Amino acid sequence: MPTLDDLQVSTLGPCTYESPLSSYVAGRKTNEYYVSEGDRVLYDDTISLLEQRNEPIERWPSFEPGGPRPAIFHDPATTHVGVVTCGGLCPGLNDVIRAVTLELYTHYGVTRVTGFRNGYAGLVPELGLEPIDLTPQLVGSINERGGTILGTSRGAQDPAVIVDRLVELGIDALLVIGGDGSMHGAHRIVEEITRRDLPIGVVGIPKTIDNDIPHIGQSFGFATAFGEASRAISAAHIEAESAYNGVGLVRVMGRHAGFIACYAALANHDADFVLIPEVPFSLEGENGLLRSLERRVRDYGSAVIVLAEGAGQDLTGATGRSDASGNSELGDIATVVREAIENDFRDRGEPLTLKFLDPGYGIRAIPADPSDSVYCARLAQVAVHAAMAGRTDMVVGRRRHRFVHVPIPLVIERRHSVSPDGDLWLSVLESTSQPVDMR
């Protein structure tokens, strides 16, 4: 469990400039609009957890709240902000780019915003990827389409080369929009900046469609992703119940965390089995998938299986390969499950109509839904507030409906995942009525 010291955010120095937002909030209760530097957001949310700490209140672990400050570190008249999108596509990337640009221009008066193309590769001059000037005119309607106007890429780049480029262009703050690997890269950039004692801030806006970044509640794009996945489950349900001995198999994203599978299944209650990386399952055995599926189809005539891509990797065998981000390539669990079901029905002399749906990349590329669009805009604004106030080596997030600053070292130390003993998985078991233990 994190301590108070673990949750302290790094700063570039004292804030000596009056925030331009002071005129924006004129006539309002500014003490309610601005974030108090002395306020904190508690890490623990129950009395029992706090009692276990057995510490005085001043030592209770707490986050620095996100939001605008009355005083800022950077002079808006001379500030130059860089923006980069890294890793895989995710709904809402263009929403974040747009909101960052508009917040800087409209409310802080920062008129130099540079977008780096194709992830960290855009910060390596020898690759020839020229940066883009981000303006309100350019970003005006980009939120209406998926993807990212800046492009993206996977894989690390030399932090020394990146910092050289930041210095060359006069970048004062770099906003990194990306997931776990991107935040590892951001931290390495901060370490190089710190080694050179430069006043350049790095603020992360966490993006992962799998929702596997810890301490931030929910990452942007996740709500859009599980909403789209739920529609695929509905389609599989209709196909399955319309066929004789129909089985719908839906593969969704989730390399290490089964959040999309769980939320999509709960969104429409059409799934009969949900298989995720965090909960092992067997194909054979009385409570294994095949016998459980046999009973379900016999009793109800059809069944729907939702399968996270990282589930059942012990059944596939290691591929021994890695992608550009260093992630181990997954075995094809969908093919393993599909062939096992087909063989089992054939061996029992039972007819089978199996429909396989994989919404996969179609989910990654769609625009954000309205809920995610709002979340993207607010995350972007909080990130700009943090960057202008001289915060660095941190990400923004919303934890229990409060925006907070989280040190990058804390979010990259582990992955967020579905707890097999938690209430989310219990809700899935209640919804599907699948065996509690399928081994």
Identify whether the C-beta of residue 260 lies closer than 8 Å to the C-beta of residue 307: no
In contact, 219 and 376? CB cutoff 8 Å: no
Half-sphere exposure of 142 (CA within 13 A, CB side): 25
> Are the CB atoms for 202 and 123 separated by under 8 Å?
no
CA distance 275 to 334: 11
For 26, phi then psi, to 5°, come to -55, 135
Long-range contacts of 373-378 (CB under 8 A, 24+ apart): 373/92, 373/95, 373/143, 375/92, 375/218, 375/220, 375/223, 376/92, 376/95, 376/96, 376/99, 376/143, 376/220, 377/95, 377/99, 378/403
Strand segments, DSSP code E, in 102-245 are 112-116, 132-133, 173-178, 201-206
Write out the catalytic residue numbers: 210
CB 338 within 8 A of CB 247: no
27, amino acid identity: G
**Residue 294 neighbours by CB distance under 10 Å:** 16
Token digits of residue 16? 């000596």
Pair type for strands 302-308 and 273-275: parallel
The whole-angstrom separation of Cα 84 and Cα 276 is: 31
